[in-house]
Amino acid sequence: GQRDRGCHKNIATSIRTSIIKLPGSDGSRSDARYLNGDQYGSDYDVIVDYALAFAKTVKISGDGKDVWIFDINETLLTNIGYYRAHGYGSEPFDSKSFNEWVVQGTAPAFAASLRMYNALKQLSVTIILLTGRDEDQRSFTEANLRDVGYSGWERLILR
């Protein structure tokens, strides 16, 4: 209905499958409970369902110009292990230790994001990845993405 089209329009203009902002949360126990509990995954699934519903309404031309851009950190890959070890944002962000985490290449995929990613590939959408990670982390980032099931992106843009 009309309400659904409005919802899809909002998703189309400001889609981001990540539903939280880390670092910078208050680091409270409620953050930890939410991030480690079932509700976070459920909320994420709902957002992905809306995004996929929108994507399925788009007429794909097949010329490679229909593009979906994904962020990597906290969208395709979760750094929850890093944030868990650093108080869920209660500690000042330390780029050196975060970069050491990135180089390990052990960030798991968000299951809902991987589902969406693969569904978009099936729709023949060109996928571009964007991240604030540094260029010297390209090989670690690409390997991490492949290791958790992502493949076939057109381009990876790093800082």
What is residue 64's predicted lDDT score, i.e. its pLDDT? 87
What is residue 28's predicted lDDT score, i.e. its pLDDT? 61
The DSSP bridge pattern shows strands 126-130 and 155-157 to be parallel
Instruction: Tell me the CATH architecture of domain 2-157.
Output: 3-Layer(aba) Sandwich (3.40)
Domain boundaries, the chain: 2-157
DSSP string, 80-130: HHHHHHTGGGTSPP-HHHHHHHHHHT-PPBPHHHHHHHHHHHHTT-EEEEE
What is residue 129's predicted lDDT score, i.e. its pLDDT? 98
- Give the integer Cα–Cα distance in Å for 19 and 42: 11
Average pLDDT across each block of 10 residues of the chain; the chain has 159 residues. List them in order. Answer: 45 40 54 78 92 94 92 94 85 91 96 97 96 96 98 97
Query: How is residue 91 written in tokens?
Result: 């500690």
pTM for this prediction: 0.78
What is residue 53's predicted lDDT score, i.e. its pLDDT? 95
Neighbours of 6 (CB within 10 A): 10
